[in-house]
Structure formats: structure tokens, C-alpha cells
Structure 1
Amino acid sequence: MGSSDVGAEVLFWCVVLARFALPLLIPSFPLPAILACLLLDGVDQTIFQLFGYDPPFYQSYDKAMDVFYLSIAYLASLRNWTNPSAVRVSRFLFFYRQIGVVAFELTGARFLLLLFPNTFEYYFIAYEGVRTRRNPLRYALKFWILVAGGIWIFVKLPQEYWIHIAQLDLTDTIRDVSWFLPALAVAVLALLAVLYFVVRPRLSPPDWSWRFRADPLPEGIDEAQERAAYQAAHRKVFDTTTLEKVFLIGLISVIFGELLPGVETTSLRMFLGIAVFVVINSAIGLWAARRGYSWNSAVVSFAVVFATNVVLVVLADVLLSRGPGRMELADALFFVFLFSILITLYDRYRPIAGYRKQSVDRTEAER
């Protein structure tokens, strides 16, 4: 392998590491972190090309990285968003997109990415943009549906067509079409003018100064012991929360399974295998919650979940006969790492969303 090849490979893994690490900032700094993820997503292919590296699997890699950081964003919405109606819209948009990405990975049909556009990402940005200056509880379900619908129709459908159907690249188009960059600049300036001169004067006064850090968690659910108590009181091993977690982690695992070259198992086996592990994790987590075992540190919580799942995978590898369709142990450990992150964050953040919804429902019932 030549020095240029080694340099390109090092660059590739640095970008992959950045695309894994940046999303972990979204729960604490929702808007800046997701904008950084969006920027890196937009320029990573250009970075590769500048260094003469053009991975043939870029489309699948890009989708896998997108799914990972959008999964963290969805979990951050469970942690941070105070408006349950906005969370409902977020949940639909997120899972709708994941179904489309899985269908694309299994079939290769690009029109599916147009049919299942990534509206969730810009919807998340819109909510956080509102929250920087205003209380999201001001706005009812209808408002958030209109926001999602506007993004879907006027932003994401043209963008998904441009990227996945026409297969055009922004950098290449700017270079090859002389009038495109001036037209784009004029369109951006026109949009900013409309926002400043038409929309801004009609906005109600802001509720607070700029907020880019996530708001503090509500009292009563901000400590690990309180979240454990909430889970013990409201959770069962087989319930809608476990079902949501199965689809959250199962779908992203199928997408990553299509990307990794060493994974030879079928997508159905992958999903069912992940589902079994998720249910086992739910049972263990509920058992721990009922006995008051919990940790305020996310790092410690992840270490416990990861170690538990490593033991489960090793035991399964020893007890089950190896045959066709089995994953290599190294690939299995990668998936352990991946879904241990998601399980840790989901189990920490899902009780917060449930607690907030109960509080809002209680307040509305008392009116």
C-alpha cells in the first residue's frame, strides 16, 4: 500500500470518527451540534475527492452515518423537548425516514429516498430554532404539523430529487454551471430579506435571550434514581416503549449490516437478533430499575450496558453452533458497541419524555 493510499485511509477514518463523535454533543447543544453534523455530512465527499479518495460504498456509508446522528437527534428530542405534540410529529418523521432508508438499502431503488424524505432533520432544526428565543409550549399540534409539512414539500422534496434522483452534486454544479452560484446567492438573499422584512416584524416578542445549550431537565426526573423509579412504576418488559426501542435499534442495525462487508446474515435475521437483545436489555434494565440501580454518569451507564451485552454476545457465540448466516464475532462486537450507545441514551431519555407528557396532560386536565 502506497503512502498516498495510507493517507487517504487515515483521512477516511478521521472523518468517520468525527461523524460518530459530533452527534454525541446533540443532547447538550442541540442546534449547534446538529448544524455541525449537517455541515460535515455535506462536505465529507468533497474532502475525500480533494485527497483523491472516492470510496465506492459512499452512498451506503453516508446513509449509515446519517441514520446514526439522526438517531441521536431523535433521542435528544426525547430528552429536551418540552412540547409533547412536537415530539409526536418528530417520532413519526424519524421512523418514516428510517423505513425508507432500510427499503433503499435492500432494493437500491433511489425513488424511495424521494418517497421517504429526511424531513425529520430540518424539523429538528426548526424546533430548536424556535426554542432559542421562544417557549415551544406556545404552539399546538397544528403548528408543528404545518412546520413539518412546509419543510417536507418546499425543502426536502426538491433536495431529495436533486441529490438522489438527478444525482447532482452542489460543488460540481457550481463549478460546471456558470450562472448557478449567482442564482443561488440571489435566492438566499431573497429568502433572508423575506425573513427579515416580512416574517420578523410579525413575530411575537421573544420569551428569553438566545439559548443554544439544552434547557435543564425538569425537577422530579433529573436524577438517575428518579428516572429508575419512573421506569419501575410505568414500564413492562413487553410494552410500547420496548417496541419503539426494537424498531429504533433494529432499523439502524439493518442499515449498518448492509454496509459492513463482513456481515453475511440476512436483514431479517439481523433485525430479529437485535430485537432479542433489545428485549433482554429491557428486562435487565427494568430489573435494575426496580432495585434502584442507576448511575447519573452516562459514561458509567454505557460501560455497564456495553459490558453486559459483550457477555451476552460471547455466551451466545459459545452456546450456539456456528453455521451459515452467522456474523463474525468482530462484527457482532461492533453492533454491541453501536446499540449499547443507543440503548443507554434511550433508557436515560425516554422517561423524561414520558414525565413531561404526564405533566402537560395533568396541567390541561386541571384547566
Structure 2
Amino acid sequence: MVDTSDMLVFWAVVIARFLIPLTIPRYPLPGVLACLILDGIDQTIFQLFTNLPLEGYQSYDKSLDIYYLTITYLSTLRNWSNLYAFKLDRFLFYYRLVGVAIFEFTQLRSMLLVFPNTFEYFFIFYEAIRLKWDPEVLTKSKLITAAALIWVFIKIPQEYWIHVAQLDTTDWIRANPSNAFILIAYAIFLLGMAWWLVRDLPPMRPGLEISADPFQPASEKLPGKKTKINFPVIDSSERFFNNALVEKILLVSLLGIIFAQVLPDVRSSNFQLAIGTAIIIIINTALSHWLARRGTHWKSIIREFIVMSLVNLGIVLAFDFLLPRYNGSINLFNTLFFILLLTLNITLYDRYRVLHARNTNNNNNNNSNNNNNNNNNNNNNNNNNNNN
């Protein structure tokens, strides 16, 4: 019989792994670092404080890793004002997600080396810069250089060590304590690389920007006040089939396929899973458009999540009721676990995309105004030259 204290420790860790990622949108750097640390020590906690077998936990551990990385990506929709950094980070996120999916299909560990998790460390780099600088100081060349250095000098060695060579750092140092000096030297090299990246940035601003408010155009900010943004369910003027719907289907389908490979007792094929995911997202989007036409606004993200969870729960129960009549079935526990994560991702995506769209439009307007001002200045100069 499983000891009660063992289960308390187990559920404390699992709940923490669910809840801590939710801090990332508001506190990006502390949140993602806490997730990294907890991901690294969770199994050590189980080994030290419980007698639980960990074979079954491995599958859920992988799912929870993808879960927190997805929330990390979604937080960039909410917070990042540097649009080139956002586009680069989005590419790195989907590149890694595709790599994980290929690995789960093939079990070729080299795929994790070819598709390294550069996304996570690039996110940390950006948020570390945001602590002391406005991220707009990061030029395209500096962002590309940072991503390349992280890819080559941090992630490829790490992915090779963990997934290809399958070495344990503690055992490596225990076998030869002098190996610790190699790690120290490499850490100093990485610190020097970080200094080289930031050496030519403008002077640092006072204090630390630990929390992240949703990006707002400067014209909408009021001194000493936080503007409360009223979130429409969705823009009712938007086309139903648009880029956002395609990205949601792509994102959640990839997540579903990865979860299907790592969760036990999943009986659906990847094609069936992708179709089922697309149906749920289309139903959710149709509901959002219907609510938008009625002028509905979400006052709370929790309320939005609860409403959409109930809708998706109803869809799952309908499938559970109908499929046995056609010689089909679903694993209800795994399906509910997946639907919970799916609903959370859809809710965060829809809400944060509103902020990202405001950011994009504001940047486009600023660029247009700057171009108009430059054209006016050129015309004035030409007129002055003609008068002379």
C-alpha cells in the first residue's frame, strides 16, 4: 500500500509543476527559472523523500516539460515589445516542438541534438536584458548572434551530454573531481560571452524590471496608473479562418501528438488526434465569434478558462457517450488531462494575442508615422533648396 506521506510529496510536486508555469506571464524570468529548477530536482525529491516507483512518472514528466515551455512561448505574445525577438523566439519554439515530435516517433536521440531547445535559453536571455534595459535596444544582428551563440555553445553540448552520450554530471565529477575545474572554466567562458553581448548596450536603468505588464503603446500609458484592458472574447470583425486559427490548430495538434506518444494507454492514431483537436478548436473559435458578436467581454481570465473548460468537457463526454456505439472508445483520464492543458493553452493564446496584435499595430503605425515625417522633411529640404 502506498504511504500517505509519499502521496503528499508526489502531489505537492505535481501541483507545483502545474501552477508555477502560470507565474511566467507575469514574472517571466523568476517563473521560468523556477520551472527549470523544479524540473531538474523533482525526481531527486521523489528518491529522497518517497519510496514511489518512478517508471510511470517519466511520461507525465515529459508532458509537463512541454506544458511549461508552451506557456513560456505564450507569455511572449503578452509581454514582448521587440517584434523581431518575438518572431525569432517563435521559430525556435516550433523548431523544438517539431524535433520533440520526431523524437517521440522515431526514438532517435540524435533528433534532440538536431532540434535543440534554444528557445528556452533565448527567452531567458531576453528577459535578463529586460531586467535592466528596454528590450528595444536589442537589434536584429544582436538577437541573431545571441541565438546562434546559445545554440552552439550552450544547447548543442547540453543536448549531446544528456540525450546522446547520456552522461550524468555528478557521476562524471565523482569519478574525477578535477573535472569540476573544466565546468568552472566553461562557466567563466559563458560569462565572458554574455559580457561581450551586452558590452555596447546603453547605460542600464535603475532598479530591476522583474514583473512584466502587458505591452501598451506609450500613448495609452498614464503616469502613475495602470490601464485596465477590457478583453473581447475575440475580434468579431476577424475572419473565422485566419492565421490565429491555423496557429492554434498547429500548436495544439503538435502538443497532442507529443502527449499521445508519452502518455500511457493512448489508443487514437496521430491523424485521429489531430482531427479531434482541430474539431475542438474550431468549436471553441466558433463559440468565441458568437460571443463577440453579442458584445461579450471577459472580465477575468479564470472565468474564461472555466467557461471554455466546461464547453470542452461537454465535448469529451459526448465523444465518450457516442464512440462505444461505433466500436470506439477513449481513455477518459488521459483525455481529460489533455483537454485541461488544451483549454488552458487556447485561453492564454486568445487573450495574449489581443495584446500582441495591439503591439504589432502600434509598431506599424509608428513606422508609418516615421516614414511620413521623413518624407515631409525631405520635401521641406527640397523646397528650401529650390528657393535657394
Same fold (TM over 0.5): yes
| Displacement of 1:105 | 1.3
| Displacement of 1:202 | 4.2
SS at match of 2:316: helix
Asked whether the 8 Å contact 1:227–1:352 carries over to 2, the reply is no
Which of 354, 362, 367 is matched with 1:364 structurally?
A: 367
| Displacement of 1:300 | 0.8
Q: Deviations over 1:19-40 (max 9, x none)?
A: 1111000001000010000111
| Displacement of 1:332 | 2.2
| Same amino acid, percent of matched pairs | 41
| Displacement of 1:14 | 2.6
Match for residue 256 of structure 1? Answer: 259
Q: Deviations over 1:109-131 (max 9, x none)?
A: 11111111101100110110111
2:110 paired with 1:111: yes
Match for residue 99 of structure 1? Answer: 98
Rounded Cα–Cα distance in structure 1 between residues aligned with 2:210 and 2:308: 30
SS at match of 1:214: coil
| Displacement of 1:262 | 3.0
CA spacing shift, 1:337–1:354, aligned 2, 3 Å: same
- Comparing 246-255 with 324-333, greater Cα deviation is found at 324-333
Rounded Cα–Cα distance in structure 2 between residues aligned with 1:2 and 1:140: 55
Rounded Cα–Cα distance in structure 2 between residues aligned with 1:87 and 1:214: 15
| Displacement of 1:279 | 1.3
SS at match of 1:232: coil
Asked whether the 8 Å contact 1:63–1:101 carries over to 2, the reply is no
Q: Deviations over 1:207-257 (max 9, x none)?
A: 45211001344267965645446x223x32211111111121121122222
| Displacement of 1:292 | 1.8
Please show how residues 73-152 of structure 1 align to structure 2 within 5 Å: 73-152=72-151
2:347 paired with 1:344: yes
Asked whether the 8 Å contact 1:131–1:211 carries over to 2, the reply is yes
Match for residue 297 of structure 1? Answer: 300
Q: Return the TM-score normalized by structure 2.
A: 0.85
CA spacing shift, 1:302–1:181, aligned 2, 3 Å: same
2:289 paired with 1:280: no
| Displacement of 1:169 | 2.1
Q: Which runs of 5+ in 1 are unaligned?
A: none
Rounded Cα–Cα distance in structure 1 between residues aligned with 2:309 and 2:2: 37
Please show how residues 232-247 of structure 1 align to structure 2 within 5 Å: 232-233=236-237, 235-247=238-250
Rounded Cα–Cα distance in structure 2 between residues aligned with 1:99 and 1:200: 31
Tell me the matched-pair count. Answer: 362
CA spacing shift, 1:236–1:365, aligned 2, 3 Å: same
| Displacement of 1:88 | 0.5
| Displacement of 1:353 | 0.8
CA spacing shift, 1:201–1:316, aligned 2, 3 Å: closer
2:209 paired with 1:211: yes
Q: Deviations over 1:30-74 (max 9, x none)?
A: 000100001111122322333455523555433222110010000
Q: Return the TM-score normalized by structure 1.
A: 0.90
Rounded Cα–Cα distance in structure 1 between residues aligned with 2:141 and 2:328: 47
| Displacement of 1:303 | 0.6
Rounded Cα–Cα distance in structure 1 between residues aligned with 2:174 and 2:301: 45
Structure 2 counterpart of 1:178, one-letter code: P
Please show how residues 45-56 of structure 1 align to structure 2 within 5 Å: 45-51=43-49, 53=52, 55-56=54-55
Match for residue 379 of structure 2? Answer: none
| Displacement of 1:9 | 4.7
- Comparing 182-191 with 337-346, greater Cα deviation is found at 182-191
Asked whether the 8 Å contact 2:129–2:135 carries over to 1, the reply is yes
Match for residue 310 of structure 1? Answer: 313
Rounded Cα–Cα distance in structure 1 between residues aligned with 2:107 and 2:203: 48
Match for residue 178 of structure 2? Answer: 179
Structure 1 counterpart of 2:269, one-letter code: T
Rounded Cα–Cα distance in structure 2 between residues aligned with 1:323 and 1:258: 24
| Displacement of 1:94 | 0.6
SS at match of 1:286: helix
Structure 1 counterpart of 2:38, one-letter code: L
Rounded Cα–Cα distance in structure 1 between residues aligned with 2:193 and 2:106: 41
CA spacing shift, 1:195–1:91, aligned 2, 3 Å: closer
Asked whether the 8 Å contact 1:27–1:80 carries over to 2, the reply is yes
Please show how residues 151-170 of structure 1 align to structure 2 within 5 Å: 151-170=150-169
Asked whether the 8 Å contact 2:309–2:340 carries over to 1, the reply is yes
Rounded Cα–Cα distance in structure 1 between residues aligned with 2:190 and 2:148: 18
Rounded Cα–Cα distance in structure 1 between residues aligned with 2:354 and 2:56: 38
Structure 1 counterpart of 2:180, one-letter code: L
CA spacing shift, 1:325–1:259, aligned 2, 3 Å: farther
Match for residue 386 of structure 2? Answer: none
SS at match of 1:87: helix
> How big is the alpha-carbon RMSD for the aligned residues of Structure 1 and Structure 2?
2.4
Rounded Cα–Cα distance in structure 2 between residues aligned with 1:108 and 1:199: 36
Asked whether the 8 Å contact 1:223–1:296 carries over to 2, the reply is no
Q: Deviations over 1:143-166 (max 9, x none)?
A: 222211111111100000000001
Q: Which runs of 5+ in 2 are unaligned?
A: 222-226, 371-388
| Displacement of 1:87 | 0.9
Asked whether the 8 Å contact 2:231–2:299 carries over to 1, the reply is no
SS at match of 1:72: helix
| Displacement of 1:177 | 2.9
Q: Which has the larger radius of gyration?
A: 2
Match for residue 378 of structure 2? Answer: none
